[in-house]
């Protein structure tokens, strides 16, 4: 009898979990246009549209999650230091609007890329965040080219190099072919 009750409870929890995973509305998947981001950073408005023409790595994180905080300096060392001179931008968006906590968390990290707060959770909703840290790479036309929960620097470098290289050398390739 106890086994049947446990089995029923397990199945009920599994059914609720599966139903809660259904998406409401279109998901910003790879190959689709990235949803607009609009946040305030030191009294200036930051939008994704202002980065059109650049490859942008969007890191969605939380100051309350140790893994997210540990990844921030890794992004600086493994990604940004290699590609910032070639036009890569990083937007690290904290999924909280507690600016004092965000500032005290990132101050000792000496980050040189932009860190902003997701006021009101609009970015988290627009990007249908399923886990953190979530990393997305948006190409120069605003199309999502990479989406992953967790830190995978080799996969990110591969995508970044592809889109920085393609745009830098596309005219030379066309000239060579013709």
Domain ranges of the chain: 27-177
Q: What are phi and psi of 84, to 5 degrees?
A: -65, -35
Contact 165, 88 (CB under 8 A): no
CATH of region 27-177, choose from 3.10.310.40, 3.40.50.300, 3.90.226.10, 3.40.30.10: 3.40.30.10
Structure tokens at 9: 């409870």
- The SS3 call for residue 16 is helix
Cα separation, 125 vs 122, in Å, equals 5
Cα 10 to chain centroid, rounded: 33
Cα separation, 89 vs 133, in Å, equals 17
Q: Please report, in tens digits, the pLDDT of each residue of the chain (178 residues total).
A: 544 544 444 444 433 333 333 333 345 688 889 998 877 676 577 889 999 999 999 999 999 999 999 999 999 999 999 999 999 999 999 998 888 999 999 999 999 999 999 888 889 999 999 899 999 999 999 999 999 999 999 999 999 999 997 544 555 555 555 5
User: Cis (ω within 30 of 0) for the bond into 35?
Assistant: no
> Model pTM greater than 0.85?
no
Instruction: Return the number of other C-beta atoms located less than 10 Å from residue 172's C-beta.
Output: 9
Work out whether strand 114-117 and strand 144-149 pair parallel, antiparallel, or are unpaired: unpaired
Structure tokens at 135: 């990393």
DSSP one-letter code for 36: P
């Amino acid at each position: 009898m106890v086994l049947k009750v446990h089995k029923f409870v397990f199945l009920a929890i599994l059914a609720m979990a599966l139903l809660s995973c259904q998406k409401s509305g279109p998901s910003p998947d790879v190959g689709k246009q990235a949803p607009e981001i609009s946040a305030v950073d030191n009294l200036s408005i930051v939008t994704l549209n202002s980065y059109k023409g650049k490859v942008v790595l969007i890191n969605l994180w939380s100051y309350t999650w140790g893994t997210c905080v540990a990844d921030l300096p890794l992004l600086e060392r493994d990604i940004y230091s290699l590609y910032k001179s070639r036009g890569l931008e990083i937007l690290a968006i904290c999924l909280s609007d507690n600016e004092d906590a965000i500032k005290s968390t990132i101050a000792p990290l000496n980050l040189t890329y932009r860190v902003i707060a997701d006021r009101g959770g609009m970015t988290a909703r627009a990007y249908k965040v399923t886990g953190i840290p979530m990393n997305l790479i948006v190409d120069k036309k605003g199309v999502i080219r990479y989406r992953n929960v967790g830190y995978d620097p080799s996969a990110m470098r591969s995508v970044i190099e592809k889109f920085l290289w393609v745009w830098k050398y596309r005219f030379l390739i066309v000239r060579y072919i013709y």
